[in-house]
């Protein structure tokens, strides 16, 4: 049997449609982002393209003033209770071709294809008593009427002990494998709001193993339960450690605690997930127009630095075709992104209300990284040298990876960092 930890040896890097398009992304829009990525970002390690929530739903976004998710509405579904791409939005899905044509497009450009799913089975299937592939049971036999998602009306949770339950999850992953899906983000499951969620995570894992395809399993939404860390590590590749993250300092600030909490759980095939990078042009699906990232430039570097040294999965939220030069520069800094690929042992060594300090080791050369975050006003940020030394860093000079400038800290107690900013030093 394959080892799920080999499906994602380093943190997955890619783009996700949600932060810009919400529920309403179309095939054409996805393709434009795929093309941009292939041409501009692929060489820096970006490879996944993930179509987020409700690709199966009709009329998404048409009642945005009332609902994010229109309840009791039409979805595209096959005879086996399996959701299919909505042909309004994904014309290539016509004729029963499902997600395969789009997956092919992605693969042809050398990238990988991901989709979002909701935990459970469609409510429409349960009420229509539709069949389950590979079982004589029907949707109403495995759907649990009291097991629902609190924020999305599409599905019923599945009774894990019901005959047909595993078969249903097997059937959808068999279909995704057929299409050529490389990455599945399963929602309404990570926080384990429903008691069945823990068992459903195991069922997803088993379905992937049976599918024969190396599909990365990503769990949402957070915050994940740290007391279930072993469970996530054993059955999934990444799990969200925060609720939906957006471009506000009040949301970025607690990420330092969240990374502290999960730092001992990062390793091959196992990545606590800080959520999408809220950079560039965002939010068109939410307010009809979208907005530029509300973070200052320094805050953006802080986010990138923390995600990289912690080694979170990296999913760009911005509409790629509208990327400005500054944002692009953040996403194409080979030295910074290199931490995702060739660093390990990252540890927070200090945190208080004003500053946070992390250290990590390079795995390819005998070098170390030192990240200094300023949570407060611009100024000198003291470095706790004893702890830095105890970590193993003896050098006091290096290169700041965002600026490329040499830094000499010998005899210095501190380094200047702008308000809410970060310095990421490679020490040697």
Q: Which residues bind its own copies (CB under 8 A)?
A: 1, 3, 5, 71-73, 123-124, 126-127, 129, 140, 143-146, 148-151, 153, 226-227, 229-230, 234, 260-261, 263-265, 348-349, 351, 386, 389-390
In terms of CB distance, is 94 or 129 closer to its own copies?
129
At 347, phi and psi to the nearest 5? -140, 135
Min dist CB 339 to its own copies, Å, is: 20
Give me the helix-helix angle, 27-36 and 100-108, nearest 10°: 10
Residue 46 tokens read as 């970006």
Q: Identify which of residues 167 and 188 has a Cβ nearer to its own copies in the complex.
A: 188
Residue 14 vs 120, nearer CB to its own copies: 120
Distance of closest approach, residue 70 Cβ to its own copies, in angstroms:
9
Q: Are 344 and 360 in contact (CB under 8 A)?
A: yes
Closest to its own copies by CB, 35 vs 229, is 229
Which residue in this structure is represented by tokens 């057929």?
A: 178
CA 37 to CA 286: how far, in whole Å? 23
> Could you tell me the smallest distance in angstroms from the CB atom of residue 229 to its own copies?
7
134 touches 170 (CB < 8 A): yes
Tokens of 51: 């179509």
Whose Cβ is closer to its own copies: residue 127's or residue 297's?
127
Q: Give the shortest CB-150-to-its own copies separation in angstroms.
A: 5
Q: Judged by CB, which is closer to its own copies: 139, or 331? A: 139
Q: Please tell me the distance from the alpha carbon of residue 424 to that of residue 390, in angstroms, as a whole number.
A: 19
Please name the residues in contact with 302: beta carbons below 8 A apart, sequence gap of 6 or more: 252, 373, 420, 421, 422
Q: How far is the CB of 423 from its own copies (least distance, A)?
A: 22
For residues 165 and 203, give the distance between their C-alpha atoms in angstroms, rounded to a whole number. Answer: 9
Minimum Å gap between C-beta 235 and its own copies is 11
Long-range contacts: 345-354, Cβ < 8 Å, 24+?
346/263, 346/266, 346/309, 346/310, 346/311, 347/263, 347/391, 348/256, 348/259, 348/260, 348/263, 349/384, 349/387, 349/388, 349/390, 349/391, 350/384, 350/387, 351/256, 351/257, 351/260, 354/381
For residues 158 and 138, what is the distance between their CA atoms, to the nearest angstrom?
12
Q: How far is the CB of 391 from its own copies (least distance, A)?
A: 9
d(CA 395, CA 397): 6
Query: 37 or 126, CB closer to its own copies?
Result: 126
CB of 139 to its own copies, least distance (A): 8
- Considering beta carbons, is residue 36 or 73 the nearer one to its own copies? 73
């Amino acid at each position: 049997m394959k080892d799920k930890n080999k499906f994602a040896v380093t943190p997955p890097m890619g783009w996700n449609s949600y932060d810009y398009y919400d529920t309403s992304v179309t095939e054409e829009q996805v393709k434009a982002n795929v093309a941009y990525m292939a041409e501009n970002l692929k060489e820096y390690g970006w490879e996944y393209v993930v179509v987020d929530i409700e690709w199966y739903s009709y009329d998404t976004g048409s009642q945005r003033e009332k609902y994010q998710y229109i309840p009791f509405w039409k979805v595209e579904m096959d005879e086996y209770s399996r959701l299919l791409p909505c042909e309004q939005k994904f014309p290539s899905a016509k004729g029963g071709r499902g997600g395969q044509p789009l997956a092919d497009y992605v693969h042809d450009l050398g990238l990988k294809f991901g989709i979002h799913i909701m935990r459970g089975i469609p409510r429409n299937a349960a009420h229509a008593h539709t069949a389950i592939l590979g079982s004589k049971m029907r949707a109403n036999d495995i759907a649990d009427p009291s097991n629902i998602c609190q924020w999305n009306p599409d599905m019923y949770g599945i009774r894990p002990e019901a005959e047909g339950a595993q078969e249903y999850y097997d059937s959808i992953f068999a279909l995704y494998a057929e299409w050529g899906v490389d990455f599945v983000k399963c929602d309404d499951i990570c926080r384990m709001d429903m008691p069945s969620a823990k068992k459903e995570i195991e069922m997803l894992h088993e379905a992937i193993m049976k599918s024969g395809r190396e599909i990365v399993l990503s769990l949402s939404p957070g915050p994940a339960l740290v007391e279930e860390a072993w469970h996530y590590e054993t059955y999934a590749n990444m799990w969200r450690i925060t609720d939906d993250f957006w471009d506000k300092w009040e949301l970025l600030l607690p990420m330092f605690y969240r990374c502290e909490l999960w730092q001992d759980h990062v390793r091959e095939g196992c990545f606590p997930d800080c959520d999408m990078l809220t950079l560039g042009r965002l939010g068109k699906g939410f307010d009809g127009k979208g907005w530029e990232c509300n973070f200052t430039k320094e805050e953006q570097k802080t986010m990138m630095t923390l995600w990289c040294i912690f080694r979170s999965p990296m999913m760009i939220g911005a509409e790629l075709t509208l990327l400005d030069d500054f944002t692009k520069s953040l996403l194409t800094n080979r030295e910074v992104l290199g931490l995702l690929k060739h660093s390990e042992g990252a540890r927070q060594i200090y945190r208080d209300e004003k500053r946070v300090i992390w250290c990590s080791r390079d795995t390819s050369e005998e070098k170390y990284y030192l990240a200094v975050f300023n949570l407060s006003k611009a100024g000198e940020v003291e470095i706790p040298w004893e702890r830095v030394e105890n970590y193993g860093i003896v050098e006091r000079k290096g290169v700041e990876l965002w600026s490329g400038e040499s830094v000499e800290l010998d005899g210095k107690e501190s380094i200047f960092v702008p308000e809410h900013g970060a310095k990421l030093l490679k020490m040697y």
